[in-house]
Amino acid sequence: MSELWKLTSGDLHERFTSGAASAVEIVESHLDRADQVEAKIDAILTLDRDHVLAQAKALDAKREKGEPLGMLAGIPIGIKDNICTEGIKTTAGSRILESFVPPYNAHVIDKILAADGIIFAKTNLDEFAMGSSCENSAFKVTKNPWDLTRVPGGSSGGSAAAVAAGIVPLALGTDTGGSIRQPASFCGLVGMKPTYGRVSRYGALAFASSLDQIGPISKDVAGSARLLSVIAGKDPNDGTSIDQEVPDYREALEEEMFGLTLGLPKEYMSDSLPSSIREAVDDVVLTLEALGTSVRAIDLPHTEYAVATYYVVANSEASSNLARYDGMHYGHRTKAPIKNLAESFSRTRSEGFGDEVKRRIMTGTHALSSGYYDAYYLKALKVRRKIREDFETAFEDVDAVIAPTSPVTAFKIGEKIDDPLSMYLTDILTVAVNLAGLPALSLPVGFSGEGLPIGLQIIGQPFEEELLLTLAQGYQVETDHHKKWPQIP
């Protein structure tokens, strides 16, 4: 089997554009890799080999004609299956959309295609992006390539597992409360959650509209910079996307970090943090200080309320967003005998939604109901503002914030699935970023004693993705954690 699958996205692009490898050779290597490992990790929901090869052949023909080639030319890309792809099934990991084939592309898909990227596969996820382990998919449980008995994280677990296993060098995920960063941490990858509004959400199946963001997952920092450069920007179809110039984020990889001040929140380094994670963070601090930064302790006092606030806001928005799945226009419709429209809705939604989605719809509906709106939803919005103000105060004294991405490494499959509260608490270090609308990047910074990846997140002010990439690249040049591959038996 050709080992082109081991190359980074940048190396693949260079091989293709220089003529050292054809697009067909590149995708065949990744298809072979998928044949080798997919049955063990279950990262993919849809992979149309003929469609993938057709894209590659068209790209080879374009190169032969001497036509200009885009920034993603020659690069296979995995797409989380809650992002619409015209003519390719998009399920959101749910029975209710099991046969749904979108008639249009998400904005980010059109941008990828315009940059000559190759849409390789649709990847598994927690149903409607609701979960932290990729165990809530209606179709399969994705395994972590570093340990097949453990979860890859969620909800973008399929995208992360596919990159970690070498099936694709780049993938798209969505991050509502950590769903890019946490699986990146669990799988030893780079994952970027952009500023809210930096990337269009048009065509991403909505979970919580004020929190959702699409972003890249990659083996190295340069891969995330390359993909973000393509997908970022204003989209007239998304009223929340910001009309702000998009830089070539790859240029940030060459910048110096000397003189920057970083904050390490006391609340994120609690006594309950495992020693392996604490030691990894301490090592990062030493590395960054040796590169010319200074690190100081800071306070984010409302951190303890972040999880509760997040699950009130997110579930309330999910209750509203998922009301559209009623079986009337598209998606699953019950085949059971029914007496009236209300029974049709009830049966359709009961059959189509999984337990976690039902739980979140019900709690969100309760929070929005008469008599409880002020006590739950309105109060959550007020605390959300306080959380954002904590960051604004911190950024008066520091240029960026660093912290562990997750309070745990990848846990065993089945370990938390029957304990929702325990599962929700794995998000405690990521949800505040979404509530505040900030950019954050997770990168691999070491391994536990069990050989499991550990991630650190870098958090910045709105639209300062370049600074995060500069810091991450500076660290990555000095370390080799990102160069290691899992040994999949």
The continuous run of DSSP H or E covering 49 comes out as: helix 49-64
pLDDT tens digits for 395-439?
999 999 999 999 999 999 999 999 999 999 999 999 999 999 999
Record the tokens describing residue 194, joined without a space: 């952009």
CA–CA distance, 350 with 344 (Å, rounded to integer): 10
Structure tokens at 391: 């960051």
Distance, first Cα to last Cα, the chain:
17
**Any catalytic annotation for residue 448?**
no
Per annotation, catalytic residue among 132, 155, 200, 442: 155
Which of 159-163, 166-170, 334-338 is the least confident region? 334-338
Q: Could you confirm whether 155 is annotated as catalytic?
A: yes
Catalytic residue among 137, 179, 218, 224: 179
Structure confidence at residue 489 (pLDDT): 87
pLDDT of residue 1 exceeding 60: no
pLDDT tens-digit map of 12-49: 999 999 999 999 999 999 999 999 999 999 999 999 99
- What CATH number has the domain bearing residue 100? 3.90.1300.10
- The CB density around residue 406, as the number of other CB atoms within 10 Å, is 28
What's the pLDDT tens digit per position in 433-449? 999 999 999 999 999 99
For the stretch 296-355, pLDDT in tens is 999 999 999 999 999 999 999 999 999 999 998 889 999 999 899 999 989 999 999 999
Is the pTM of the predicted complex or chain greater than 0.85?
A: yes
Options 22, 29, 80, 219, the catalytic residue: 80
Range of the domain at 405: 1-489
pLDDT in tens, 344-394: 989 999 999 999 999 999 999 999 999 999 999 999 999 999 999 999 999
**Quick one: what percent of the chain has pLDDT higher than 70?**
100
Radius of gyration for the alpha carbons in the chain, expressed in angstroms and rounded: 21
Nearest to 451 by CA among 473, 484, 407: 484
Contacts of 307 (CB under 8 A, 6+ apart): 424, 425, 427, 428, 431
Cβ neighbours of 210 (radius 10 Å): 16
Tally of domains within the chain: 1
CA-to-CA distance for 214 and 200, rounded, in angstroms? 8
Quote the CA–CA distance of 4 and 33 in Å, as a whole number. Answer: 10
Q: Is the peptide bond before 133 cis (omega within 30 degrees of 0)?
A: no
Q: pLDDT per residue over 436-484, tens digit each?
A: 999 999 999 999 999 999 999 999 999 999 999 999 999 999 999 999 9
Mean pLDDT of the chain: 97
* Contacting residues for 426 by C-beta, under 8 A, at least 6 apart: 132, 182, 406, 407, 408, 411, 416
pLDDT at position 231: 98
What's the rounded Cα separation, in Å, for the pair 472 and 39? Answer: 33
Q: Is the pLDDT of residue 282 over 80?
A: yes
Q: Which of 124, 125, 79, 72 lies closest to 102 in space, CA to CA?
A: 79
